[in-house]
Structure formats: C-alpha cells, structure tokens
Structure 1
Amino acid sequence: MDYSLAALKLLCVQLKSAVQTPSQNSFTLGGILFQRAWLQGILVSAPCSTDSGGNGQFLLDDGTGVIELILSGDFRSRRWEAGRSISFL
C-alpha cells in the first residue's frame, strides 16, 4: 500500500466510475491516483445478518448506489448487522 497516494472520500456511484491502473495496483478518478477510498452509508446486507438472509455479501448503500465491500482479516470476523450506518476507509 502506498500511503503517499490520496485516500478519496467517494460516493458509491463515483467509485463505480474509477478505472483500475494495473501497473500500480491502484485506481484513477478524474486524474487522481488512489488506492484507498472512504465510503459512508447503510449496510444493507452482511453474511451474518438475519434481516438480509445472510447471503454472504457485504453491500453498502450510500443513497447514490449500492456497492459490494470485500473485507479481510479482522474486519470479516466481526459481527455485522444490516441497517447500521457505517463508514469505511
């Protein structure tokens, strides 16, 4: 991870428009190169959620769209519940 690159606060609709740059393991959006994004919204589905049927996906809705989050390590093992307002970086 290159922490000298920007960490952008994005909407889901913007993140979906980002373009991956294979040579640098990063993304670009509007000419800005980044590897990390800050998203904020409502968790509408989580693997352990009884409300969503526990479909195995982490889905975040920020009002502009829904995006699937891929969590790793410690974050994946936490208890997540649909309906919670969350913020990720």
Structure 2
Amino acid sequence: MDFNLPALKLFIRELKMASPPAPSISSAGSTPSVMALGNLHFQRAWLQGVLVPGCEHEGNLLLDDGSGVIELYFSKESQTHQWKAGMYVLIVGAYTVKDGTSVLKVHKIVDLSSSPDREAMWNMEVIEAHDLFYAASIG
C-alpha cells in the first residue's frame, strides 16, 4: 500500500467511476490496486454512510451514502466490533471490482451514529475536497 497516495473523500457514485489507470511509463511499477479518477490516483477511499443489510445468509453489509450503495468486505481487524444495519459509519478501504460488483475492502471503520450533524459535515468535507483537487489539477 502506497501511503503517499491520498485516501480520497468520495461519494459512492464517484467511486464507481474509478478504474485502473492507463498504463504509462511513469506508472509501470505501480501496484495493481491503484485506481484512477480522472488524473487522481488512489488506493484507498474514504466514505461515510449508513450500513444496510446485504445478503442475510452471507452476513455481509452494504454502505449507502445517498448517492449509491457498495458492498463491504470486512477484514478480521475490522470485525472486532458488532456492526449492524442502521449505523452511520466512516469507512476507509480499498476499492475493487470483483466479477462486475463494486466492493470496498474495509481497512478502518468508525461508528459515528451518535455524532450530531455528521451527514451535513460530511457533505461539506467532500465538496471542499473536490474543490481542492480541482484547483490542483488546473493549477
């Protein structure tokens, strides 16, 4: 994992537009888990939203941020807490597409359910991050 690459604050609909970067001389040694969204390369995405039930028999959860839904894959480290549908969470994880399905491998998850104004603050943070990325890309 290249921690020099940012964990982008994104909405799920934007995350699903990401794809592996086009091969080039500068990215010849890059890790296959690197994704690109325009000119931005990243390995981790930072999302926030509500946990919703997935396939009950598999015990998986989905994240819904109002712009889309993504399947979550919990690592053993992130299973130390009892995550339940209805919780509002912050998640940082690696984005992959497996058999045509978008999946976020959870590296870090934090329960923000008791935080007031959490959703409004998140929307402002994502919009501010987009403004900074846009300014950097044209500057």
Match of 1:5 in 2: 5
Name the amino acid aligned to 2:76.
G
Is 1:26 aligned to 2:34, yes or no? Answer: yes
Name the amino acid aligned to 1:79.
Q
Match of 1:49 in 2: none
Q: Note the residue ranges of structure 2 that are not aligned, 5 or more in a row.
A: 24-29, 93-139
* More helix, by proportion: 2
Q: Note the residue ranges of structure 1 that are not aligned, 5 or more in a row.
A: 47-51
Cα distance between partner residues in 2 of 1:20 and 1:68: 19
Cα distance between partner residues in 2 of 1:72 and 1:53: 18
Describe how 1:1-89 pairs up with structure 2 within 5 A.
Answer: 1-21=1-21, 23-24=30-31, 25-45=33-53, 53=56, 55-89=58-92
The number of equivalent residue pairs is 84
Name the amino acid aligned to 1:5.
L
State the Cα RMSD in Å: 2.0
Match of 2:128 in 1: none
Higher relative contact order (CA 8 A, sep 6+): 1
Runs of 4+ in 1 over 3 A off after TM superposition: 52-55
Q: Structure 1's 87 and 54: CA in aligned 2 closer, same or farther, altered over 3 A?
A: farther
Name the amino acid aligned to 1:86.
V
Does the Cα contact within 8 Å between 1:40 and 1:62 map onto a contact in 2?
Answer: yes
Deviations 1:33-89 (A, max 9, x none): 00011000000126xxxxx84642220000001001112112134311100100111
Identity over aligned pairs, percent: 46
TM-score when scaled to structure 2?
A: 0.54
* More strand, by proportion: 1
Cα distance between partner residues in 2 of 1:31 and 1:39: 20
